Amino acid sequence: MARQLRAEQTRSTIITAAADLFDRRGYESTSLSDIVEHAHVTKGALYFHFAAKEDLAHAILELQSHTARRLATETDNRGHTSFEALMRLTFGITRMSVEDPVLRAGLRLATGSIRPRPPLSHPFTEWLDIVTARLVGAVKESDVHPDIDIDVVAHSLVCFFVGTRVVGRSREPVARQPRRTAEMWNILIRGLVPVTRRARYLSLAARLEREIAPV
């Protein structure tokens, strides 16, 4: 049992070290030797868990997918409206991205040349499905204008959210992401939500930003 625990800890250490380098340098510019040095492990330990650098990239994408699905389930189980659940999900991903290099690396990998291995879906396909389901619910709950094209809005929202993080990564500190997510919602709420319900969601965006903003 102790040996298994040490193996799991070593695997986690290697993934975190690889994610940090992939996030800061990029996948192509990071070698396995760089990861070994950054993780403070032996090459033997790395090859015990991962036969190639691509295997590390896929492990990061799997963790990113698991996190997104877990957060989506958690927000759904708390009794929020569909629109609030969607907002909370984006702020939750933002908060974890600020704290966790694995999620930041997952985004960089997703926007690069790495493609997930089946049965894992591409992160953007998965996010489109998550967003679409909650927009359908929001229309039914009258929190979103009934005449919107849900597919178009879902695609635009995912592009907005991903693009904000990609551009921000190269231009400003990661701690700025909560503010950018709130700015995104301030724009989207005014375009999607009926006037009688906007104040509630604008207030929610401000509150969620305060909750996750670094001190």
101-149 confidence digits (pLDDT tens)? 999 999 999 988 788 888 888 889 999 999 999 999 999 999 999 999 9
Which is higher by pLDDT, 212 or 61?
61
Q: What is the pLDDT of residue 212?
A: 85
Report which residue type is found at 65: S
Binned at pLDDT 50, 70 and 90, residue 215 comes out as: low
Report which residue type is found at 168: G
Report which residue type is found at 201: Y
190-202 confidence digits (pLDDT tens)? 999 999 999 999 9
The three-state secondary structure class of 41 is coil
Question: What CA dihedral angle connects 102, 57, 87 and 132, to 10 degrees?
Answer: -170
Cα 36 to Cα 174: distance, rounded to the nearest angstrom: 25
User: What's the rounded mean pLDDT across residues 56-80?
Assistant: 92
Count how many residues are written for the chain.
Answer: 215
149-194 confidence digits (pLDDT tens)? 999 999 999 999 999 988 887 788 888 999 999 999 999 999 999 9
Nearest to 75 by CA among 202, 210, 209, 208: 208
Residues 167 and 180 sit within 8 Å (Cβ to Cβ): no
Cα 19 to Cα 140: distance, rounded to the nearest angstrom: 40
Cα 119 to Cα 103: distance, rounded to the nearest angstrom: 20
24-48 confidence digits (pLDDT tens)? 999 999 999 999 999 999 999 999 9
What tokens were used for 23? 């996030």
Q: Which domains does the chain have, with CATH numbers?
A: 53-211 (1.10.357.10)
User: What's the rounded mean pLDDT across residues 56-60?
Assistant: 96
Cα 38 to Cα 69: distance, rounded to the nearest angstrom: 29
pLDDT at residue 70 is higher than 90: yes
Q: What is the pLDDT of residue 12?
A: 96
